[in-house]
Amino acid sequence: MKNSELTRAILKGMGFRWKNFLVFSLFVAAFFGALYFWRLSDVSQASFDFSDVAQYQSLAIKNVDIVIKSNGQVLMDGKNMPSAIKIYADHDEMRMILLDNPGIFIQSFTVTVHLPQAVRKNEIEQTTYAIHGVGSYHNYFQNDQTLVYEADNISSTSTLTILAKFPKGMIQPPTAKVILYYISAVSAQSYLILAIILPLITLIVTLFMVLKRRKDQIISLNVSPSAQPPALVSPAVVGVLLDGRVGPREIAATLIDLAQREYIYIIRKDASFTFGKRKSVPFEDLPELKLYEKILLSKIFMPNDYRSTKADVEMRVGHHIFSRKIAQVFLGIYNEATRAGYFIQNPARVHARWKYTGITFLFLSLLGFAQSAFYAPDPKFTLFFWVGGMAAASVIIKISGLMPARSDLGSRHLTPWMAFRKYLKLNQMVPRGAFSQDIFARYLAYAVVFGVEDAWAKRFMQERFAKPKWYESQETTVTLDEFIGGLFPLISFASDLLAGSHEPTVE
């Protein structure tokens, strides 16, 4: 899957205002962040360019006036030089490469530096670095606020750099420069440890939050079995109440529930299958069907078709990278669970908020990595930190779908449903005669959504099996083993295919 396709799918599922706000914010952050750090970066380059002077010409005299302000700003002949000041633990300094292969001969070069306040001579350290053809150079302390650097007979291939070290306190550099200094002063070992610890801490914190939000589910594990479902609630909504998210099992349980309610039937033949309609009326005209059930059926059946084969389902699902309809099915299940009062907020919104938080952190980490890779001074140990940030952001994105927000009402309703789940997976046979009440098929959808369909089926192994009315196969006689072996794989195939095609805007 291409990153551009994923990004378009995520933005497509957002509201218009939030989508535009996010895109605008990311572009603004990227532009001003890159510009800001580029201006603060320590990239060294020659301060003068003589490309407009003809080759082999000479310059008799070149005078430069540099003003250092108390806030650390450096102006050279009125031009701002943001990378001139460097911060250290025991001193600050101005370092400038004035000439680097100027391409012309300069007879006399004088630089006058004006300090922001008066200092004593022994508090200032002046140095000139001149190589590749400088006749002579020297520097001196003209007065308590003026430094002078002089050089002569400078060849066209020379390099001239001046340095002035100041005592701490003479200038008050911008906070950003101070922060950059402390960042660059951290050792490689510390950054490496931080890069490992950061995603681990993120994982621990997010898992702690997941466990905290699911503590009522853990407590409910000790309940006594209950032979009846506590309420008339669709299996998919019960699955969301249990796990806080919609997945393949919720889709599979919905298909079985629709079959049990006599809206569809399932025909198995070898490794293939066919879905069929049991109602002649269009599904969208049936008021008793929930909206998300209508949308799911519209994804399986074409408007005028009464059957849909495995190949038909694959074609409809595979026609697009992501299916908007399946995303609407997910949202419909979430909305029903929220309307029932089981969640403080719609779980889809909770998941989306965490996912977009992770995506934002990932974007900022990528931006920081790029800035450090191009502009940070060597050695670029800060790259370890940004790699750790990307790993931490990936953890948040991955776990975003596990962040439910179950309400007090949802917690109270969860306990009896956990008791019913415990009944479905009991390791004992169901009393004889239960099939006359169609109990196996009636509770099958709940067993699927709870993930205990095998345990539920084993409880009927000693009974004479009568296949449900909605299931057909090529075998004349269908045993329970054959039913399980035929139904579960095809439902699993259909649900995985359908659930896996939803847009990533909904978890």
pLDDT of residue 17: 44
Measured distance CA(97)–CA(105) in Å, rounded: 17
Which residues touch 154 (CB under 8 Å, ≥6 apart)? 99, 102, 105, 106, 107, 109, 130, 133, 134, 135, 160
User: Tokens representing 49?
Assistant: 């360019």
Q: The pTM is what?
A: 0.58
Burial class of residue 63 in the structure, from the number of CB atoms within 10 Å of its CB (0-12 exposed, 13-18 middle, 19+ buried): exposed
Print the SS3 string covering 201-242: HHHHHHHHHHHHHCHHHHHHHHCCCCCCCCCCCCHHHHHHHH
- pLDDT tens digits along 339-389: 888 887 777 777 778 888 888 888 888 887 887 777 666 666 777 777 888
pLDDT of residue 491: 75
44 against 160, higher pLDDT = 160
Which residues touch 239 (CB under 8 Å, ≥6 apart)? 246, 247, 249, 250, 253, 449, 450
Provide the residue count of the chain. Answer: 507
Domains and CATH numbers, the chain: 58-174 (2.60.40), 223-344+406-499 (no CATH)
Strand partners, 111: 64, 149
Which residue's structure tokens are 């000041």?
85
pLDDT of residue 1: 41
- pLDDT tens digits along 160-195: 999 999 888 888 877 777 776 666 666 667 777 877
Strand partners, 129: 161
pLDDT of residue 42: 42
Q: Please, which pLDDT band fits residue 404 given cuts at 50, 70 and 90?
A: low
